[in-house]
Chain A
Amino acid sequence: MTNRTVADRVFSAVMYAIAVLFTLGCFLPFWGMLVASVTEKRTLIREGYRLWPSQFSLEAFQWVLRGQQVITGYAVTLFVTIFGTLLSLALMSCLAYAMSVKKFKLRNVLAFYIYFTMIFSGGIIPWYITMRGFGLYDNVWALIVPMLMSPWWILVMRNFFNALPSEVLESARIDGASDVQILTRIVLPLSTPVLATVGLFVAVAYWNDWWHGVMLLDFADFRPLQVIILRIINNIRAIREAMAVPGSTITIDMSQVPALSIRMAIVVVTIGPIILVYPFVQRYFIKGLTLGAIKG
């Protein structure tokens, strides 16, 4: 890259400019949200979004963390994420291991059984009726069970297990180790990269899930965090629509709409844990996104 021409310098500058602009575009919404959440609420309404809080206040966070609803939501989301991810990893690695054992004649049948769910589904309504029929309704299991098995990650795990050195597994088998022993003592310890990757994606899916909360919780006295946020959004939407009707005399219960700073604080609290662990897990995410693209 010696003797750079003027054209190359301009080109390089343009590349940097594009990258910087897009990076800022991704970063500023986060920053704005964080600043809004620590700005005193009347200042925020008067001045709008700023890059730095002119009137610092943690009031919004105090309000959010005092509310029983958010605390419960946090507990539910945490439990669902941790328990769901661990259970999901356990069940998926058992199934993936069984599919990776060459002498097991059911393995191809199982592979097709899993592929098929990726290309055909019964649709939302039969799914809903089935979930209710199995009692996955208005309880915490409704948030966990439907997401336990994801075909894509089972196949990724199977491909990883397939690629493990077969001599090691064979010699263990000759020494009389059972399949359970091989799985827990040899395969899983050798598979931390794939377990970490899949575990992270599953955990983020659980953490960000609101769909099952909306569909399968009606009268339960708890809601996951994401559903609490969705409810606030729907309340705002309803009020805006009522206001849009010309000459409407509908009285609006403004207590249902938290102030902007409080809304931002709830969002910060919700995405906080993920953003905090992100620097540590980033390389696994990149691995996970390229891993799935390679067919085994």
Chain B
Amino acid sequence: MAVNVELVRPVQRKASRVSEFLRNLWENRLLVALAFPGVLLIFIVNYVPMLGIGIAFQDFRAETGFLSPWIGFKNFELLFGSPVVWRLVRNTLFLNSLFIITETIAAVGMALVLNEIGRRFFRRLFQSVMFLPFFMSWVVVSMLIFGWFDYEVGLVNVAIRNAGLERIDFFNNPDIWPGLLAFLRVWKTTGSGCILYLAVLVSIDPQLYEAAAMDGAGRLSRMRYISLPMLVPVIILLVLLSIGRIFYGDYGMIYAIIGSSAALWPTTDVIDTYIIRALQSTANFGLSTAVGLSQSVLGFILVFGSNWVAKKWSQRRGEDYSLF
């Protein structure tokens, strides 16, 4: 008997846990109903495409869709054998690293600067105006860029011509663009990016500054030895989290600004813009999906890795800034 009980109990417990869960669902059927439309939409928009990953292993045809013939890893062999891929990976990693570095420096720097603006009125004014570019879509920015950098009528080239110098043909000069794109990113994101840092700075105990001032520290050294160290944890965590997304190109920006200007692709074409073009020219869907899948898998590993590092690192400080 005793043996039987031992054998039966885990099964019973398991069954009762499942039935308990189902009972809980039934008792909360109203909540299930509330959650259902959202869950269904997420399923359609986010999860059904995951099933389509299979295309990466198929010889995709429009007529057969997700049920095209399987060809194993052929697409990946083709992919890693082509020189284009290395250009895409190099550009994506280089541009994103450049963006992370310049934007972080700009946002932290601007937060430190705004923190030193004593007059509340001016600080609010500066902050409000710096926020403006945040509202512009990259399409609108792209439209303005033609006004600035066009060879014939652009602001910059008109100024250069008036100064009697050689004009710069921006749209045929790929080497300029990584710097230019980073500049635009800084312009667009600093106003919103510095807000989090500023929130940290505002919460610093003013007594710290007073004590330092008593000891004869000037404002520069107070900024250097009090404000900046206070920001370090947040900086490290935000950088870690953006490293997690380093394989995802900012296609919203690059597609709107570079678009079809093939002359600029050597330095600006990223993984995402390549896939979008493949989609529009109805080129090899299987191959492009393989590109996307490699990106998703690498991105997945990096997001987890950087989140893990962020978590370990912040827990040591008794905090938790990680995403999940």
B31 touches A122 (CB 8 A): no
Does chain A have a CB within 8 A of B135? yes
B147 touches A295 (CB 8 A): no
Does chain B have a CB within 8 A of A16? yes
A125 touches B285 (CB 8 A): yes
A265-B321 Cα distance, complex, nearest whole Å: 44
Tell me whether A7 and B259 are in contact in the complex, defined as CB-CB below 8 angstroms, given that A20-B126, A101-B31, A289-B196 are known contacts: no
Nearest chain B residue, comparing its CB with the CB of A236: B146
Chain B residue numbers with a CB within 8 Å of A5 are 218
- For the complex formed, measure the closest distance between the CB of A32 and the CB atoms of chain B, giving whole angstroms: 8
Stretch in A55-63, A88-96, A164-172, A248-256 touching the partner: A88-96
Nearest chain B residue, comparing its CB with the CB of A117: B46
Does chain A have a CB within 8 A of B101? no
B117 touches A16 (CB 8 A): yes
A252-B179 Cα distance, complex, nearest whole Å: 32
**Using a CB-CB cutoff of 8 Å, which residues 141-156 of chain B contact chain A?**
142-144, 146-147, 150-151, 153, 155
A92-B164 Cα distance, complex, nearest whole Å: 58
A126 touches B116 (CB 8 A): no
Does chain A have a CB within 8 A of B19? no
Per-position 1/0 for B102-146, Cβ under 8 A of A: 000000011001101110001001101111111111011011101
Chain A residue numbers with a CB within 8 Å of B289 are 123, 125-126
B132 touches A95 (CB 8 A): no
**Using a CB-CB cutoff of 8 Å, which residues 94-140 of chain A contact chain B?**
94-95, 97-99, 101, 103-106, 110, 113-115, 117-131, 133-134
- For the complex formed, measure the closest distance between the CB of A145 and the CB atoms of chain B, giving whole angstroms: 7
Does chain B have a CB within 8 A of A163? no
Does chain A have a CB within 8 A of B73? no
- For the complex formed, measure the closest distance between the CB of A16 and the CB atoms of chain B, giving whole angstroms: 7
**Using a CB-CB cutoff of 8 Å, which residues 242-296 of chain A contact chain B?**
244, 260, 263-264, 266-267, 270-271, 274-275, 278-279, 282, 285-286, 289-290, 293, 295
B146 touches A123 (CB 8 A): no
Main secondary structure of the interface of A (DSSP, over half): helix
A32-B47 Cα distance, complex, nearest whole Å: 45
Stretch in B4-12, B34-42, B89-97 touching the partner: B34-42
* CB < 8 Å neighbour of B41 from A103, A124, A148, A279: A148
* CB < 8 Å neighbour of A127 from B49, B114, B139, B256: B49
Chain A residue numbers with a CB within 8 Å of B293 are 123
B296 touches A179 (CB 8 A): no
B220 touches A7 (CB 8 A): yes
Q: How many cross-chain pairs have Cβ atoms below 8 Å apart between A and B?
A: 281
**Using a CB-CB cutoff of 8 Å, which residues 305-323 of chain B contact chain A?**
320-323
Nearest chain B residue, comparing its CB with the CB of A263: B143
**What's the tally of chain A residues with a CB closer than 8 Å to chain B?**
103
B139 touches A210 (CB 8 A): yes
* CB < 8 Å neighbour of B295 from A7, A123, A232: A123
A103-B31 Cα distance, complex, nearest whole Å: 11
A47-B148 Cα distance, complex, nearest whole Å: 14
Chain B residue numbers with a CB within 8 Å of A117 are 42, 46-47
Chain B residue numbers with a CB within 8 Å of A106 are 24-25, 28, 31-32, 35
Nearest chain B residue, comparing its CB with the CB of A232: B143
Q: How large is the interface on B (under 10, 10 to 19, 20 to 34, 35 or more residues)?
A: 35 or more
Chain A residue numbers with a CB within 8 Å of B129 are 23, 26-27
A91 touches B292 (CB 8 A): no
Nearest chain B residue, comparing its CB with the CB of A270: B140
Does chain A have a CB within 8 A of B278? yes
A149 touches B136 (CB 8 A): no
A244 touches B28 (CB 8 A): no
- For the complex formed, measure the closest distance between the CB of B103 and the CB atoms of chain A, giving whole angstroms: 14
Per-position 1/0 for B239-263, Cβ under 8 A of A: 0000000000000100010011101
A38-B24 Cα distance, complex, nearest whole Å: 64
A290 touches B196 (CB 8 A): yes
Tell me whether A27 and B132 are in contact in the complex, defined as CB-CB below 8 angstroms, given that A94-B37, A95-B39, A226-B139 are known contacts: yes
Interface positions of B (Cβ within 8 A of A): 21, 24-25, 28, 30-32, 34-35, 37-39, 41-42, 44-53, 55, 65-66, 109-110, 113-114, 116-118, 122, 125-126, 128-137, 139-140, 142-144, 146-147, 150-151, 153, 155, 158, 171-172, 187, 190-192, 195-196, 199, 218-220, 252, 256, 259-261, 263, 272, 275-276, 278-279, 285, 288-289, 291-293, 295-296, 299-300, 303-304, 320-324
- 6 nearest A-B pairs in the assembled complex, by CB-CB distance: A126-B52, A123-B292, A122-B49, A95-B38, A208-B137, A98-B35
